[in-house]
Amino acid sequence: MKVLVIGSGGREHALCWKISQSTLVDEVFCAPGNDGMLEDATCIDIKPGDVEYLARFAKSNNIDLTVVGPEAPLVSGLVDVFRENGLKIFGPDRKAAILEGSKAFAKTVMQRYNIPTARFAIFDDPEQARTYVSNVPYKVVVKADGLAAGKGAIVTDGESEAYNAIDRIMVQREFGDAGDKVVIEERLGGQEASFIAISDGENILPMASSQDHKPVYDGDKGPNTGGMGAYSPTPVVDERVYAMVMEDVLYPLVRGMKEIGAPYRGVIYAGLMVDTRLPKVLEFNVRMGDPETQPLLMRLKSDIVPIMLDVASGGSIKNMVLDWDTRAGVCVVMASGGYPGSYEKGKEITGIEEAEKIDGVKVFCSGVERRGNTLLTSGGRVLGVTALGEDIRRAVEKAYDAVGKISFDAVHFRKDIGEKALKRMP
């Protein structure tokens, strides 16, 4: 069969790499992909937002299954168009994808179905938002309602910072139309975790736990990014937390979405804050995380294609299970200096082949382009250097050994990916 993956980042490279290993798959395409994934897919120069062109390509090339990586085309209704054209596609439709497209919608759903989350309020007027901040007895996080490439949540440390966040989002329009409304919520303590699962609209197939590192600098300092690294599994999601997430978060969500006429089929990602082993939902995403996908798919031993195909076909995953490598996975993101702000492009990248000679290491490419035989930087997050190790400690060591063999001018990466897990190890 032929599979089309939509997107261009490290997550999509990992998806292409994993899907290409399936015994069911003869050919993998990626639209638009990037020049670093050419060994794993044939890249097609079609943008994820060009929905009609993508559908025509899928039809004319007899694509058997399309897998959507990023959130924007899901929110814009790509799945709906494909289904209208009789094409099988893995991902939630527009009605369900609004869970990520509007943080205000997601919070109201959580409130309606008693899903544990932080106290919150929603505003479309900056002055009312400021008044609210001045009256609450807790520190807040200010979030742009719409899509902001993972950068629209501003954690504040007092009234003045909260006022500034409201101004950036609603007045200066730093995130464009995503800032038409804001969600202001209580700032929770604890550790973040990513809980990613697959749903067929009724049943839920959970993936292994993972933990992302959003802030750009070590120690979780600095502005949020799309993600500077991830590891799996995370000890903060123990058996008790796992059961609570399934029973108190995911099943109520899936039942609730069906009840309101938006049955959820595809990947559902619960971003959690876990404090004293009690998980609360920070946000829902309607796709796999980036960079969590990289260590997760490195650890996944099962063929993921039959599961995606069943969900895309309207089938059931009730009796399906996922088989996981007992080893840990760690991904360290190598980014352009200046990211998530302005940065220069066109820096030559060297050392990937040497890094991949280390047993258990795979380098997933994101912001890269090729000129002749030279690979150059072309984005903020450039590479996801991913390693498997007998435990988190060894996986961390391998990942950073590999990072040390790769170089490009002004490279930036966090040096503490996985440290939270290491502190819990004996």
- Give the domain range for residue 305: 191-312
Residue-wise DSSP of 294-340: HHHHHHB-S-SHHHHHHHHTT---TT----B-SSEEEEEEEEETTTT
Tell me the whole-structure pTM to 2 decimals: 0.95
Residue 320 lies in a domain: no
CATH code at position 47: 3.40.50.20
pLDDT in tens, 2-56: 999 999 999 999 999 999 999 999 999 999 999 999 999 999 999 999 999 999 9
pLDDT for res 424: 81
The answer to whether residues 345 and 366 belong to one domain is yes
| pLDDT (average), residues 114-141 | 96
pLDDT for res 311: 98
196 pLDDT more than 90: yes
In this structure, the number of other CB atoms found within 10 A of the CB of residue 313 comes to 13
Q: Among 91, 115, 133, identify where a domain stops.
A: 91
The answer to whether residues 373 and 413 belong to one domain is yes
What is the number of domains present in the chain?
Answer: 4
> What is the share, in percent, of the chain residues with pLDDT greater than 70?
100
CB 367 within 8 A of CB 379: yes
Question: Based on C-alpha coordinates, what's the Rg of the chain?
Answer: 21
